[in-house]
Structure 1
Amino acid sequence: MPVKITAVPLERCLDSRDLSEPQVGPKGEVLVFGVSQQGKGEIHTRDVSGGAEETWLLEPAPSVTRGFGGGCFQWLPDGSGVVYAAKTGGLWEAARGATSACRIDTQSPVTASRFGVAVSASGEWIACVQNLCELVVVHRATGEEHVIAQPHAFVFDPVWNGDELYWQAWSQPHMPWDESEIWSAHIAQREAHVVLHQPGVSIQQVQFSATGEMGVLSDVNGWLQPYHVVDGELVALLPPGEQVECGNPQWGMGAHTWCWSPDTTEIAIARNLEGFGDLVVVSVATREMRSLGRGVHGSLQWNSAGILALRTGAVTPTQLVKYAAQTFEREILATSEVDSTGGAWSQYELVEPTLGAVDCGNYNVPYRLYSPTTNETSEQPFIVWVHGGPTDQWQVTFMARVAYWVGRGVRVMIVDHRGTSGHGRAFQQSLNGHWGEFDTADLIAVVRHVHASGWATPQNTFFMGGSAGGFAALNAAGIAPELCAGVIALYPVVDLADSAEHSWYYEQHSIAVLVGDSPENELLYAERSPLSKVSALAKVKVLLLHGDLDTSVPMNHSITLAQALRKAGGSVALHIMEGEGHGFRLRHNQLREYELIGEFIFTL
C-alpha cells in the first residue's frame, strides 16, 4: 500500500465543486442535480442506471444553491422538463435537452427574486417564494399569478398535496428554529389557514407520502425529529429515547433531511450524532430502526430505484449516492471532487476528529479536535475555530480548509459553544439573551482547557472564525488576550448596534433576541461588541478579511475595527476581497485567504 502524503497542496483544496438537490424524474430514469463552482451554477444530468454525467446548459442560468439546501428547480409531473428559478430573476421552464427556457411568470418584473419552486401534481400551477416573505402561485400556461395572503413575515418551502399548498411560516421576533408554523391554502380559494402551531416550537420540512400522509420535523420534544401528522397531532416516528437532532437551522430553503418511502411504510432520516452523522431507515408501524451508513447526509429522496442523498465526512469529499432499493447497497453517482494538478484526495492522509467536551459545571462545551498524524507537541500552531450563525453547527463534513492546515502540522478544534445546534433545543436556545457573553465565555473555557491539557501554549494559540464566529473570536481575545497570539476574523460582526440596523433583513430582528434587549440599550450592545474591547485586542495580532460586496455584515465593520486598533497601537492587517460577499467564492481570493492565514500563523 503506498504511503499517504501528509501535506495537501493548495491546488487540491481549491479545485472542487458543490453538489446540491438531486432529483430523479417522475419515470425514475433520469437524475438532475445542481453543480456550482467558482460562483457559477449549472444543472447536470445523468441516467440513474449509469452513464456519463452531462451539463445541461440553460439560458438564463439557474440560481443553483449550495450544500444541503434546495428550491432552485423541480421536475414537471410528466418528466418532460423542469421549472427553475433563474439567477437573474423569474421562473422559467426548460424542456429536456433544450438550452433555452421559456418565461412562466410573465406578469411580474423580469428581475423578480423567486425561489422555492414547487410544481403542482397536475403541472398547472407553480408555487414559489418571493424575497423570502411572499408566497406566489403562477399559472403555468397563462402567467396569471396570485400572492397568497397570510399573516407572517417570512415563508419557506412550499409543497403541494393535490390542489392544497402547504408552507412553513414565522414572524419577528422569531427565527424559524425558534418558533414556526405550517399553513395551507387550496388553489381555488387561496385562503390561508394554520395547520400546525405550538408556542415555542419549531415545525419545518413538510413532506407528503405517495398516499397523502403528512409528516414534518419538529422539536416539540426538545430534539428536532420527524413526526407523522395524524388528525392534527404529532406522532413520533423515531423510537422513544432517541436524543438526536435530525435537521439543521434554516439559513436557506429546501432542506430534506428526511423522506417517506414510496409505499409509506418507512422513512429515511439523517441523524446528527454529536456532529458526526448516519442515515437510518425507520419502520412507521414499529419504529424499528436500521442504519444504512455513516456520514453526514442530506437532500434525501426515496423512489423506486432507492434512496438518493448527498453524503460527506471528514475524509469523504461530498458524494451524490444511491442506496439501492431492497439491498440498500450504496453507489456513488457523482462527487464534488474534480481533476486537479494536486492529484486525487485519496492519496492524502486525512484525519477524523476526536470528540471531547469541557466540563463547565452545569453544562459541557462540546468540541471536535483534528490532530496531525505527525508527532504532536505543544509548540504546534493550534486554531480554535468558531462556526458562524451563531445558531449553526459545523458537522463532520469534508472541509478542505481543515485538511490543509492539519496536513501542515496545525491542530484544529471546532467548538460548539452554547447556542450551537445539534445538541437539542435547550442548548441551542441557551444563547438567547446572552450573545456576546455565553459564546465568549465558552471559547475562553475551551482554550484554558487546551492549555491545561498541554496541547498548546498562548504563544501558538489562535482564535479564528467568520461572521458570528469572528465576533466570538474577537470577543474572546478582547477579554482574555493573554490566552492567544492572535485572531483571524473573516467578515466579522464587530458592532452589534450597527448590525441591528444594517444586517441582512432575514436575521436582523433576531439580534435583539440574541443580545437580550433592544438596540436602544446602547450600553449593553456596546459591551457585547468587539469594538468595545480595542485596548485589549491591541495586545494581540489581528488579521481581518472581508468582501467588498458583503451585505450580511458590511465591510465597514472590519474597516472600523482596523482603524480603532491602529489608533490604539495594535498590530492589525486588513485585506478587502474584491467581488466577494459573505464568504469567498472566487479562486484567486480563496488562494489569497490561505496564503494570508498561513503567513499569519507561521510567522508569529
Structure 2
Amino acid sequence: MVQRPYGTWKSAITPRMMAGNNRLNDVQWSSDGKTLVWSERRDGKTRLVARTEGEPTRDLTDTSLKIGGGVGYGGGDFTLHGDKVYFCANNQLYAMPLGAGPAKVLTPQFGSVASPAVSADGRWVLYVHTYQNDDVLAIVDSEGKQWPQKLAQGDDFVMQPVWHPHGKYVAYIAWNAPNMPWNGTELRLLTLRDDEQSIPYVTSQKTIAGDENTAIFQPTFSPAGRFMAYISDETGYSQLYLYDPVEGTHTQLTDGDYEYGTPAWTQGLRTYAWSADGSAIYYIRNDKGFCTLWQVSISQKSNQHISDLGAYTYQQQIDVAANGKLAFIASSSQIPPRIATYDAQGGTKTVHFSMPERLPKKDLAETQLLEWPTRDGQIAYGMYAMPTSSKYSSEGKPPLIVLVHGGPTSQRYANYDADVQFFATRGYAVLQVNHRGSTGFGKAYMDMHKTNWGVYDVQDSIDAVNYLAEEGLIDKERVAIMGGSAGGFTVLQSLVDAPGFYKVGICSYGVANQFSLAMETHKFEASYNDWLLGPLPEASQLYRDRSPIYHADKIQDTMLVFQGVEDPVVPKNQSDSIVAVLERNGIPHEYHVYEGEGHGFRKPENIIDYYETIERFLLTHLIYA
C-alpha cells in the first residue's frame, strides 16, 4: 500500500468518467414478453433502447427526438402495447413499431405530455397533459386521427392513469395544492362509455381511496380486471392494498415498518407489478434505504422474500412479462445501475450495463446504514462510506464530505451513488444524510419537516458530524457540506446557523430566498413551502428566518457555488444574490454558471468541469488549507 494523505489518492473514477455515466430511467416488457425497452440518458440526451431475444441491443430513437415526459419533473416517458412503443418526445405523443417503421405523431404540439397508457384493445391512449398550468387527464385515438379530448379535469395535478382490461374503467391519482403527492392524494375511478363512433367519455366518477392526509400511489388493475392494487400510507407507512370492486373492500397485503411506495417526484414510478396470471404481486420493500424483492399471494395473502437476487440492494421500476419473467433497474453501493431480469428457474441475469464497470468491488466503497442520536434525544439516519482503495492508505483520520439530498422530501438509498464513489476513492469519508423529514422511515418521520425546513436538516447533519468525530471515524476539522436544490439550501442555512463548523460548503442551485422561490418556481412546487414553512403572509417571519440571503453576512466559510442559467425550479437569481454577499464581505468563493443547463447538469463538458472544479477546490481549501 502506498502512503498518501487522505483526499489526494489517485482515483480511476475521473471527471470524464462521471460525465460518461448513463442514467437508466425506466424499463418495460413488450406485450409478448420477448422485447425489453428502456429509457436511457446517454451523453446528456435520452433515448429509447430495445433488446429482443436473440438480437443485439439497439436504439429505437435518435437524438432528433427529445425523449421524456414534460409534466413537472418529467417521467412517464413511454409504454408498450402490441408491437408498438408509445412515447413522449418534443412535448407530443408518438407511436412507433418495435420493428421497422417511422414514429408517428399522435397529438398536436401544444403544452406537454406524460404517462401514456393504451387501452387493452389498442384503440385509445390515455395521457397526462399540461398547458398554461392546467393539468388534465386526456385521451386520443391510437392512430392520431382525431383531436385529443379532456377526460378528467378540475384538479391541480393528475398522474399514473391506468386502463381496466375491459376498457370500461380508468383509474388515476389526483391531488390539489398546497398538498404534494406524498401528503395527500385521491384514487379516482372513472366509468367510461364508448359508442365506437367517437372518443370515450366519462359517465361517472368516484373516489376509491385517499384524502387530504392520505397519499395514494400507483393504482394497477389485475390482468383479468378482478382487483385493483394500490399503495397507501394510511397506517403511517406506505403499504400495498387490494381493492375488490365487487365487494367494495380494501385489504392490506403488507405490513411492518417498511416502505412499499416512494414519493412521486416524477410521473411513471412503479414499486410493484402483477404476475402475468394475476395470482401474485411482486413488490419492492424499502427497509431504511436497503431494498429487497418480495411477492404476495393474492389467494393466501402470504408474503415471500425472493432471496436469490445476488448482491443487489436497490431495485426500481419493476415490470413483469407475459411469460412471468421480471425486469427492473438494479444496483448496490458497489454495483452501478443495470437492467436485470429474474425468474425462478433462471435466476437473475444482466441485460444491460449503464457503464463499463471496470473497477473491482475492492476499489469501490460500500455504504453502511448509520444511526445517530440527535440533540433532542431522537434518532436520525444516513448512509456512511469509508475511504476505499486497494492501493493507498493514510495516517490519521479522514476528512468528511456530508451529502444532503434534495427534495427535501426524499431519501438516500443503498444504491450506487457516483458522487460517493468519486469522493471515497480519493480518500474522503462520505455521509449521506437522511435527516428528519426524509422519506423511507415512516410518515411521522417525514412529517417532521412540516414548518421545520432549515431546522432538522441542519441540526441532524451537524449532529452526525459530531457523532462520527466522537466515534473516532473522521477529522472534525476537515468537513465539507455539499448539496443541490433543497440540499443546497441546507448548505447555505448550515453556514448561516453554524459559521465555522464546516470548513467549506459546496452549493448547487441552492435556495437562498424563500419569498422569491414561492413566487418564481414551477407549478409542481409552487405551494410546497406552504407545508415546509407555512402559508403566506401568516408565515412571513419564518420565511425570512429560513432565507439565507437575509442572514448571509454570517457566512464566514469558503464556498463553491454552481448554477444553471435556465433553471426553472431554483432560478439563477437565487445563487446570484448569495454570491453578491460573499463578494461584498470578501469571503473566499468560486461561482460557476453553466449556459444551457437547468435544474441539474447534463452536458458532458459541464459535468467534467463540475467535478474537476470540486476536486481542485477541496484540495485547495480542505486538504491543503
Common fold by TM > 0.5: yes
Bigger CA drift: 443-452 or 198-207? 443-452
Tell me, yes or no, if the aligned pair for 1:405 and 1:411 is still in contact at 8 Å.
yes
> Is 1:311–2:330 an aligned residue pair?
yes
Tell me, yes or no, if the aligned pair for 1:12 and 1:345 is still in contact at 8 Å.
no
The code of the aligned residue for 2:335 comes to T
Instruction: State the shift of 1:302 in Å.
Output: 1.4
Instruction: State the shift of 1:468 in Å.
Output: 0.4
Other-structure match for 1:245: 259
Normalization by structure 2: what TM-score?
Answer: 0.89
Other-structure match for 1:118: 117
Write the distance in 1 (CA, Å) between the matches of 2:283 and 2:10.
35
Write the distance in 2 (CA, Å) between the matches of 1:80 and 1:220.
39
Other-structure match for 1:96: 98
Instruction: State the shift of 1:407 in Å.
Output: 0.5
Bigger CA drift: 137-146 or 543-552? 137-146
Other-structure match for 2:6: none
Other-structure match for 2:504: 486
Cα distance 1:263–1:547, how it changes in 2: closer, same or farther (>3 A)? Answer: same
Other-structure match for 2:196: none
Tell me, yes or no, if the aligned pair for 1:60 and 1:101 is still in contact at 8 Å.
no
Write the distance in 2 (CA, Å) between the matches of 1:520 and 1:328.
60
Bigger CA drift: 438-447 or 470-479? 438-447
Instruction: State the shift of 1:295 in Å.
Output: 1.9
Other-structure match for 2:385: 370
Any idea what the Cα deviations from partners look like across 1:29-79, whole Å, max 9, x if unmatched?
1222112112211111111x443101113586252369x985222223xx2
Write the distance in 1 (CA, Å) between the matches of 2:110 and 2:212.
37
Cα distance 1:477–1:457, how it changes in 2: closer, same or farther (>3 A)? Answer: farther
Instruction: State the shift of 1:488 in Å.
Output: 0.4
Write the distance in 2 (CA, Å) between the matches of 1:569 and 1:349.
40
Tell me, yes or no, if the aligned pair for 1:44 and 1:54 is still in contact at 8 Å.
yes
Tell me, yes or no, if the aligned pair for 1:58 and 1:100 is still in contact at 8 Å.
no
> Is 1:510–2:524 an aligned residue pair?
no
> Is 1:81–2:80 an aligned residue pair?
no
Other-structure match for 2:487: 469
Instruction: State the shift of 1:199 in Å.
Output: 4.4
SS of residue in 2 equivalent to 1:562: helix
SS of residue in 2 equivalent to 1:369: strand
SS of residue in 2 equivalent to 1:482: coil
Write the distance in 2 (CA, Å) between the matches of 1:22 and 1:517.
39
Out of 597, 607, 616, the position equivalent to 1:590 is 607
Any idea what the Cα deviations from partners look like across 1:362-381, whole Å, max 9, x if unmatched?
42110111101354655532
Other-structure match for 1:193: 206
Instruction: State the shift of 1:7 in Å.
Output: 4.3
Query: Following superposition of structure 1 onto structure 2, how do residues 238-387 of structure 1 map, counting pairs within 5 Å?
Result: 238=254, 240=255, 242-284=256-298, 285-292=300-307, 293=309, 294-303=312-321, 304-324=323-343, 326-327=344-345, 329-338=347-356, 344-346=358-360, 349-360=363-374, 361-373=376-388, 375=393, 379-387=397-405
Cα distance 1:460–1:337, how it changes in 2: closer, same or farther (>3 A)? Answer: same
Other-structure match for 1:204: 217
Tell me, yes or no, if the aligned pair for 1:436 and 1:515 is still in contact at 8 Å.
no
Instruction: State the shift of 1:532 in Å.
Output: 2.5
Query: Following superposition of structure 1 onto structure 2, how do residues 119-268 of structure 1 map, counting pairs within 5 Å?
Result: 119-131=118-130, 133-141=135-143, 142-161=145-164, 162-163=166-167, 164-188=169-193, 189-191=201-203, 192-212=205-225, 213-230=227-244, 231-238=247-254, 240=255, 242-268=256-282
Cα distance 1:562–1:31, how it changes in 2: closer, same or farther (>3 A)? Answer: same
Write the distance in 2 (CA, Å) between the matches of 1:116 and 1:59.
20
Cα distance 1:10–1:565, how it changes in 2: closer, same or farther (>3 A)? Answer: closer
Write the distance in 2 (CA, Å) between the matches of 1:305 and 1:53.
22
Tell me, yes or no, if the aligned pair for 2:122 and 2:142 is still in contact at 8 Å.
yes
Instruction: State the shift of 1:414 in Å.
Output: 0.4
The code of the aligned residue for 1:112 comes to G
Instruction: State the shift of 1:504 in Å.
Output: 1.7
SS of residue in 1 equivalent to 2:459: helix
Any idea what the Cα deviations from partners look like across 1:197-235, whole Å, max 9, x if unmatched?
344111110111112120001111111121111244431
Bigger CA drift: 146-155 or 576-585? 146-155
Instruction: State the shift of 1:133 in Å.
Output: 1.6
Write the distance in 1 (CA, Å) between the matches of 2:211 and 2:21.
42
Write the distance in 2 (CA, Å) between the matches of 1:144 and 1:113.
15
Any idea what the Cα deviations from partners look like across 1:74-129, whole Å, max 9, x if unmatched?
223xx23222211x222122123345222222xx4x24311110111111111111
The code of the aligned residue for 2:347 comes to E
Any idea what the Cα deviations from partners look like across 1:249-280, whole Å, max 9, x if unmatched?
11101111111111222211111121121112
> Is 1:452–2:466 an aligned residue pair?
no
> Is 1:389–2:392 an aligned residue pair?
no
SS of residue in 1 equivalent to 2:491: helix
Any idea what the Cα deviations from partners look like across 1:341-382, whole Å, max 9, x if unmatched?
xx7233761121122211124421101111013546555321
Bigger CA drift: 516-525 or 358-367? 516-525
Write the distance in 2 (CA, Å) between the matches of 1:186 and 1:10.
53
Cα distance 1:535–1:452, how it changes in 2: closer, same or farther (>3 A)? Answer: farther
Other-structure match for 1:54: 58
Tell me, yes or no, if the aligned pair for 1:357 and 1:365 is still in contact at 8 Å.
yes
Question: Cα RMSD between the aligned structures?
Answer: 2.2
Name structure 1 gaps, 5 residues minimum.
Answer: none
Out of 582, 592, 606, the position equivalent to 1:575 is 592
Write the distance in 2 (CA, Å) between the matches of 1:474 and 1:330.
44
SS of residue in 2 equivalent to 1:595: helix
Cα distance 1:452–1:445, how it changes in 2: closer, same or farther (>3 A)? Answer: same
Cα distance 1:51–1:439, how it changes in 2: closer, same or farther (>3 A)? Answer: same
Out of 26, 29, 32, the position equivalent to 1:27 is 32
Instruction: State the shift of 1:322 in Å.
Output: 0.9
Bigger CA drift: 393-402 or 410-419? 393-402
Other-structure match for 2:567: 550
Other-structure match for 2:197: none
Any idea what the Cα deviations from partners look like across 1:137-168, whole Å, max 9, x if unmatched?
11234323211243311000111003211110
SS of residue in 1 equivalent to 2:55: strand
Write the distance in 1 (CA, Å) between the matches of 2:324 and 2:353.
19
Instruction: State the shift of 1:549 in Å.
Output: 0.8
Cα distance 1:199–1:580, how it changes in 2: closer, same or farther (>3 A)? Answer: closer
The code of the aligned residue for 2:462 comes to I
Out of 398, 407, 431, the position equivalent to 1:413 is 431
SS of residue in 2 equivalent to 1:483: coil
Other-structure match for 2:617: 600
Tell me, yes or no, if the aligned pair for 2:69 and 2:112 is still in contact at 8 Å.
no
Tell me, yes or no, if the aligned pair for 1:267 and 1:281 is still in contact at 8 Å.
yes
Normalization by structure 1: what TM-score?
Answer: 0.92
> Is 1:10–2:42 an aligned residue pair?
no
Other-structure match for 1:536: 554
Bigger CA drift: 463-472 or 525-534? 525-534
Tell me, yes or no, if the aligned pair for 2:566 and 2:597 is still in contact at 8 Å.
yes
Write the distance in 2 (CA, Å) between the matches of 1:198 and 1:248.
18
Write the distance in 1 (CA, Å) between the matches of 2:293 and 2:515.
42
> Is 1:400–2:412 an aligned residue pair?
no
